[in-house]
Chains A and B, each alone.
Chain A
């Protein structure tokens, strides 16, 4: 009598860990909803947990949450700054996984929950300077990018880190149709020493909340406070360690306007506008805000200027 071995379970039938974890989260979430229903006065937004304050935080007044979450550049949802808040609601951020590959000893794909569980989240209140000439102060919740990169054990040959945003046309309206503002995926990059710098974080939340609103780059985004905002790539799905300087989206689109470094620098103008001053969103009741001088490295020169010692910042804009 022939006893046949049962066929292997095809990989497609295995519930991914992230989905399995989400199911558990759904249950706890349901419990949370029940608890909220019992407390009619409590806000629907998750109650801010107490995150440790980071010494890297600025003591400047934070931008209103409503402004920081309604005025966004996230071209996957449209080029108008109101588009992300209006259209990112449909973005599925659970399950979410991030692939770390390239020149690492341990290439891996990690569920977001795994990443968050392995780090200590803290609050970092950073200035954000957009290349367009406006700025905000945002209390991020996040952790040092270095902590994640170390898990994958970068090889000695790795000199740069390349990042990629999600491509999902069915949930990202500007990724479909005849007229698309950018080539996808959105790509960014850092030098490895910039990526390993303690100021460089991956954010998972803001304003005391553990989760990011989708329009701010949920569920995981980069924050590099001394560079123009577009360097801080949103909704990251892939981090690759590479040897050569990676091509980035804006550099590919207009290399004379957006350099690889894109450090905030009042002395080097954007070809189409001055970078000497900025308008802080929410100041002076909006219409009558006084422009403030833009600070070199967005005011983080003490910590990061040494990264660029001896470099011509005008040539390496």
Chain B
């Protein structure tokens, strides 16, 4: 309604602005994680290599070239999926929201790779394939890596994360490191002599694993030390009360200061008018119209309701951040950063699992 009005009053300028807005919206849609544009881009090497193979432009042995190219792309996407989180931790851009897509692309390439091996290389000969699996360690290792990716790909979606619970899901998906190590090993084991390439990939996977371990140790040891007891509040309840009241995932985040997996929360796309309340004690924390799309994968707000929250310095995970807690019950909610895009300059990055939404009935009934 508002836009049509504006168009009537200042026609040319508004037209250009609308066009620009439409273009920006289209661009945003195109680079949204999991968009068709990005999947098409990610799968282009497979389509292109297959086209080259069937049109006799892949050299003397197109089958081997295709098989190897698909395997290499699977390994590349696996490495990339592991690199996104360290990239952010080491101060690079935050592309973690693309991780699910990159991981799924790795799985698709691995699937194509296995399909070419089974159908074209071994020509569906079950005897030959079975002999390969049991007698050739590089095939055994490669197949094991692929089999690890299957449940990971099958649970790379919101409903599966909710069904499993964040902690279980995270534990399951840590297997991706083993799959990547297996894939790199598979590559080393199948070559003759000492070519450089497989060892480069193995070194990258090993490096990523080391970074992962390095970031994990301070996090694990710091956990107990940094935690300011969550009891000094007016609404003090004992631990047993919270354990009984909250789901395990809620307890882990609200009472143990954990963090949910990004892009998994129920309130990521909640925009209805009303308020967000503390999932632990029900206090109103944020007004719906202060919520904005940050692209981080967590609900984000540019301001909190006055007096609803308290903040504390948090030096865990090798970062200095400001932790945000519910002022009423002292439960952990998330963090606040000074890089907000709106006038307040604040970005309250809140775990979805810590929030409930109270809608204001638009019709005013009840």
Residues of A in contact with B (beta carbons under 8 Å apart): 63-64, 66-68, 70-71, 75, 79-82, 132, 134, 179-182, 253, 269, 272-274, 276-277, 279, 281-282, 285-291
Contacts and interface: CB of A to CB of B under 8 A. Distances in A.
A272 B137 contact: yes
A291 B132 contact: no
Interface stretch (B190-198, B223-231, B283-291): B190-198
B63 A67 contact: no
A75 B193 contact: yes
Contacts of B64: 134
B194 A287 contact: no
B298 interface: no
Contacts of A282: 60
Majority SS at the chain A contact face: loop
A70 B65 CA distance: 13
Contact of B62 (A68, A272, A286): A286
Contact of A277 (B58, B128, B138, B190): B128
Contact of A181 (B120, B189, B194): B194
Given A272-B189, A274-B128, A287 B136 contact: no
A98 B224 CA distance: 75
B135 interface: yes
Contact of A179 (B54, B62, B132, B196): B196
Interface residues of B, number: 29
Given A79-B191, A272-B138, A286-B56, 20 more contacts: A67-B59, A70-B60, A80-B195, A81-B59, A81-B61, A132-B192, A134-B61, A181-B194, A182-B193, A272-B137, A272-B190, A279-B61, A279-B63, A286-B58, A286-B62, A286-B63, A287-B53, A287-B54, A287-B62, A289-B63
B131 interface: yes
Nearest to B195: A79
B208 interface: no
A291 B129 CA distance: 13
A269 B53 contact: no
B66 interface: yes
Contacts of B56: 285-286
B19 interface: no
Given A274-B128, A287-B54, A281 B191 contact: no
B123 interface: yes
A71 B193 CA distance: 18
A272 B138 CA distance: 7
A310 B89 CA distance: 67
Contacts of B61: 71, 81, 134, 279, 281, 286
Contacts of B192: 79, 132
A134 B62 CA distance: 12
B193 A273 contact: no
Nearest to A132: B192
In the complex, the 3 A-B pairs of residues with the closest C-beta atoms, listed nearest first: A71-B60, A67-B60, A286-B62
A134 to B, nearest CB: 6
Interface string B36-73: 00000000000000000110101111111010000000
Contacts of B66: 287
Contacts of B193: 75, 79, 181-182, 253
Given A272-B136, A291-B123, A71 B190 contact: no
A288 B244 CA distance: 62
Interface in B121-146: 123, 125, 128, 131-132, 135-138
A288 B54 CA distance: 9
A70 B90 CA distance: 44
A273 B132 CA distance: 7
A128 to B, nearest CB: 12
B53 A286 contact: yes
Interface centre among B53, B60, B136 (most CB of A within 10 A): B60
A243 B31 CA distance: 70
B59 A71 contact: yes
B197 to A, nearest CB: 8
Contacts of A70: 59-60
Interface in B273-290: none
Nearest to A290: B123
A76 to B, nearest CB: 12
10 contacts: A66-B60, A79-B191, A134-B64, A269-B135, A273-B136, A274-B128, A285-B54, A285-B56, A287-B54, A291-B123
Nearest to B64: A134
A107 to B, nearest CB: 32
B120 A274 contact: no
Nearest to A230: B192
Contacts of B54: 285, 287
B132 to A, nearest CB: 7
Contacts of B62: 286-287
A288 B60 contact: no
A248 to B, nearest CB: 13
Nearest to A67: B60
B191 to A, nearest CB: 7
B263 to A, nearest CB: 39
A290 B190 CA distance: 22
A274 B132 contact: yes
A142 to B, nearest CB: 22
Contacts of B123: 290-291
Nearest to A136: B60
Nearest to A270: B136
B194 A82 contact: no
Nearest to A288: B120
Contact of A182 (B125, B191, B194): B194
B51 to A, nearest CB: 11
Contacts of B120: 287-288
Contacts of A181: 193-195
B186 to A, nearest CB: 11
Contacts of B138: 272
B240 to A, nearest CB: 59
A276 B135 CA distance: 14
Contacts of A132: 192
A269 B128 CA distance: 12
Contacts of A66: 60
B175 to A, nearest CB: 26
